Amino acid sequence: MMFITLIKFRKKAKDVVEVGNTVMQNLPAGVKIIGTYWTLGRFDSVWIYEAPSEKEAIKLGISVGEVAQTQTLVAVPRNEALKLL
Residue 51, classed as helix, strand or coil, is: coil
pLDDT digits (tens, 9 = 90+) for 6-43: 999 998 888 889 888 999 999 988 999 999 999 999 99
pTM over 0.85: yes
In angstroms, how far is the first alpha carbon of the chain from the final one? 20
Domain that holds residue 22: 2-82
State the CATH number of the domain containing residue 69.
3.30.70.920
Question: Which residue did the predictor score with more confidence, 48 or 14?
Answer: 48
- 64's CB contacts (< 8 A; 6+ apart) are 7, 16, 19, 20, 23, 70
- Residues 60, 55, 3, CA angle at the centre, nearest 5°? 60
66 pLDDT above the threshold of 90: no
Please state, as a whole number, how many other Cβ atoms lie within 10 Å of the Cβ of residue 36.
14
In the chain, how many domains are there? Answer: 1
